[in-house]
Chains A and B, each alone.
Chain A
C-alpha cells in the first residue's frame, strides 16, 4: 500500500462529498468554454458585424472568470478546512508539510483537470445550443453547427490552469501557516460564541432596516422628484447604493437576529422543535456570515435587476417601436416616399398615407410644469388636429401627444392648465386639455418632447407667424405609410430593405429588430452571467449549509435521543432552510425591484410582466439549492443516531 494508492483511494471516496464542487467546476468550465467558443465562432460574424457581439462577449467572459474565480477560491477554503484533520494526521505520522502539499496538489490536479476535461466536452456540445438560443433571441436565421475552436480551448485551459495555481498557492499558505494543534482545532473554532443580545445590536438591527428603507425611498424619487443635473444624479445614486448595501450588511449583522429575538422573547422560553432548529441557529449564523451574505445579495440583486431591465427592453421592443414611429414606415422626403409607395403598389400591398407638416415653436408651459423647469421654454413641434386621426380640439385647446414613459420622468406636465404658444411676434394663450402616450411624429422630428396638437385655425395662425430660426427644413414634412394588412408588413419591409433606405426614412420593423438585436445580445450576456452567478452563489450557500449540518450533528443526536423523530427534525430544518435561502433571496429581489422601478422607463414600456417572469425564473432555479441542502440535512439527521 503506497502513498499514491492512498491518494487515489482518498480521491475516489471524497468524490462523493465533493460532487457539488466537481459539478460547479464542470459547469464553470463548460460555461466559459462555450462562451469563448462563441467569440471565435465564424457564424457569429453576422451578429458581430451589427452589434459588436464579439467584443461584448469577450468583455463579459472576463467578468465570468472573476465570478467563477472567486467562487472556486471560496469553495476551496471550505474544502481544505474540512480536511484539516487529515492534514494534521499526515503530519503526525511523519510527513513533511511539503510532502502533504504535494499530495493535496496531486489529488486536486486529478480532480480539477478531470473536471476540466469533462467541462470542455460539455461546453463543446453545449456551444451549439447556446448559439441556437442566441440566434433565436436575436432573430438571426443562420444555421448553427458544432464548431470546435482550438483558440477557445487554449484560452480555457490557460485561464483555468492559472486558477488552479492560485488555488494551490492558497493551500500552500494554509498548510504552512497551520500548526498540528491548530489543524485539529480548526473545525472547533469556527463555531462562534453564543451571546446575549446587546443594546448595541438592537441599534444595528434597527439601523439596517432604516438604511434600506431610506435607500428605497430615495431611489423611488430619483427621476420623479425635482430634476437634477448629471452630477447630482450621480451623487444620489452613490448615496442610494451606499445606504442600501450598508443597510443589507447591518440587516444580516443585526436585524435578522433582532427580529428573531423578538419572536423568541414572545415565546417566553417555550420553543417548539421547529423553532429550536430554525430560529436559534439562524440568529447566530447569519451574523457571522454577514459579509458573505451581503455580497451574495448585492450581486444577485444586480443580476436580477440587469436581467429585468434588458428583458423589459427586449420585451417592449415592439411597443416602443410603435410609440416612437407612429406609422409602419416614415419618410421625410417626398420623392423617397413616392418611390417606395410605387413599389408597394407594384407588389399589390395595400397602404394608407399620412402627411403631416410640423412647425416648431417655443411654449411657455410653466403653469403646468414643476417649479424647477420654469426658466426655460419648452421647445415643441405643433400639428393641426386635421393631420391627426381621432382627435378634434376646439380653438384655444391643446393636446400633448407622444408624451411617453421616459419623457414623463424627465419633464413632468400636468394634465390640464394654461400654456402660451410663442410665435415670432404674437403669443397665443391656450388651454392644455390632456396628454397621451400615443405618438404622431418620430423622435427625429420632435427631439423627444411632446407634440402639441392644436385646432386648424390656431395652426394656420402660428404658421403665418413662425420663427424661421426654429424651423428645420429637412424636418418640415412627415410622410407616414401604414400597411393596411398587418400580414404584409414584412413584405413591405422587404421592399424597404431592397431600396436600401436609410434615415431620415424609418421602418417600425427595422427599429424593433434593431432594438431586439442589441437588447437581445445584452440580455443573453447578462442572462449568462446571471446564471453563473446564481449557480455559484447557490453552491456557496449550499456548502455553508453542508458545514453547518455537520457542526450541528451533535445537537441532532441529542434531540433524537430526547425522542424527536427524523420527521420532526426535518420539518424544523425545512423551515430553517426556508429562511437561510429565502432571506437573501427576498432581500435580493426587493433590492432589484426598487432598482428596476426607479429607472425602468428608459428601457421600455412594460414593467410588470418581464420583471415578474425574470424573478420567478430566478427564484425557481435558486430554490433548487435550498432543496439540495434539505436533502443533505436529511442524510445527516439519519446518520446522527
Chain B
C-alpha cells in the first residue's frame, strides 16, 4: 500500500511560445516507512519533482495522493489543512525563524494544532533528545552551528508526526561530519518511528543511507536501486556505478 502515489505527473514551465517540460510523466510510489532518495544530474528535475510531491508547487498534469487523499486539485485552504497534518519539510538552508529559540522553532507546527501543552512539551523532549538538541533548546538559531540548525529543522519536521517528510538537499550546506550525523539520525528516525522520508540529494554518500534510490534524467525516471540487505558500503558502490551509467556530471 503506497503512502504516496504519483500518477503521470507532468510539469511545464513557461508560456505557449517558450515551453519547457521539466517533468515528463512520472509514476512513483512510496510505501510507509520507506526512506527514498531521489538523485539525478543538475537540471534533471529532481527538485521540481520534490516540490510537486510536497504540494509546494502545482502539477501541470497528473495526480498525487498522500494517504489516499489526492491533493493536486485542492483549494488553498484545504491544502493548508493537509500540510498541517500530513507533511514535514527539511530544507538545505534550514529556514528557521531567527526570532524564535530552538524549542520554539521546533514547536511551531504544533502551535497551530489543538494539541495540549503538556503533550507538546513531551513531544519536544522526545524528539529533541533523539536528535541531540535538547541542551540547545533556549538558544537562538544565530548561536548554533549549521549541523545543529539542520537537526533543529529536522526536529521541526518530525515533531507533529506527519505522514511523510520531504527533505531537499538537507546535507547540502553541511560539512561531512555534520552531514553523516544528520543522515544517521534520519535513518534512525526512519527505522524507530517508521517515518516515511523522501530526500533529494546529489551526494552518493547521503543517498546510500536510503532504503531505495530513484534516478531521474530529463524529467523521467531512469532507474531505481533497492538497498535490500546490502551493506551501506556496497549500496554506495551501486549508486556510484549507476551514476556513471547515467552520465550526468554532478554539481
Contact = CB atoms under 8 A, between A and B. Distances in A.
Contact of B111 (A2, A85, A97, A179): A2
B45 to A, nearest CB: 14
Contacts of A91: 80, 83
Contacts of A146: none
A415 interface: no
A3 B76 contact: no
B95 interface: yes
A5 B107 CA distance: 12
A608 interface: no
Contacts of B80: 91, 94-97, 99
A1 B120 contact: yes
Contact of B112 (A9, A88, A95, A180): A95
The A interface, classified by DSSP as helix, strand, loop or mixed, is: helix
A96 B80 CA distance: 5
Interface stretch (B96-104, B127-135, B181-189, B220-228): B96-104
Nearest to A85: B95
Interface in A83-120: 85-86, 88-89, 91-99
Nearest to B81: A94
Given A1-B120, A3-B112, A93 B99 contact: no
> In which size bucket is the chain A interface?
20 to 34
A610 B80 CA distance: 63
Contacts of A89: 95, 97, 108
Nearest to B96: A89
Contacts of A1: 104, 107, 110-111, 117, 120
Contacts of A88: 95
Contacts, number: 70
A609 interface: no
Contacts of A93: 83-84, 108-109, 112
Nearest to A3: B111
A92 B76 contact: no
Interface in A472-492: none
A10 B108 contact: no
Nearest to B99: A13
A130 B109 CA distance: 51
Q: Among B51, B56, B57, which residue has the most Cβ atoms of chain A within 10 A?
A: B56
B24 interface: no
A245 to B, nearest CB: 36
A617 interface: no
Contacts of A620: none
A181 B56 CA distance: 6
B16 interface: no
Given A10-B97, A99-B112, A180-B56, 17 more contacts: A1-B107, A1-B117, A2-B111, A3-B111, A3-B112, A6-B104, A10-B99, A89-B108, A91-B80, A92-B83, A93-B112, A94-B109, A95-B80, A95-B84, A95-B112, A181-B57, A184-B95
A13 B105 CA distance: 14
A390 interface: no
B89 interface: yes
23 contacts: A1-B104, A1-B111, A5-B111, A6-B108, A9-B99, A9-B104, A10-B100, A14-B99, A85-B95, A89-B95, A89-B97, A91-B83, A92-B56, A93-B108, A93-B112, A94-B83, A94-B87, A94-B109, A94-B112, A95-B112, A96-B76, A97-B80, A99-B80
A95 B85 CA distance: 11
Interface in A65-99: 85-86, 88-89, 91-99
A539 to B, nearest CB: 22
Contact of B85 (A5, A94, A179): A94
Nearest to A176: B76
A181 B100 CA distance: 23
Q: Among A5, A14, A89, A179, which residue has the most Cβ atoms of chain B within 10 A?
A: A89
A9 B111 CA distance: 13
Contacts of A181: 51, 56-57
Q: Among A14, A88, A93, A95, which residue has the most Cβ atoms of chain B within 10 A?
A: A93
B77 interface: yes
A406 B245 CA distance: 88
Nearest to A639: B142
Contacts of A98: 77
A202 to B, nearest CB: 30
A81 to B, nearest CB: 16
B85 A6 contact: no
Contacts of B83: 91-94
Interface in A1-23: 1-3, 5-6, 9-10, 13-14
A569 to B, nearest CB: 20
A98 B75 CA distance: 13
Contacts of A99: 80, 112
Interface string A155-183: 00000000000000000000000011100
A53 B37 CA distance: 75
A3 B111 CA distance: 6
B97 A96 contact: no
B117 to A, nearest CB: 8
A94 B99 contact: no
Contacts of B82: 94
Q: Among B76, B82, B85, which residue has the most Cβ atoms of chain A within 10 A?
A: B76
A179 B57 contact: yes
Contacts of A14: 99
Nearest to B108: A93
Interface string A179-201: 11100100000000000000000
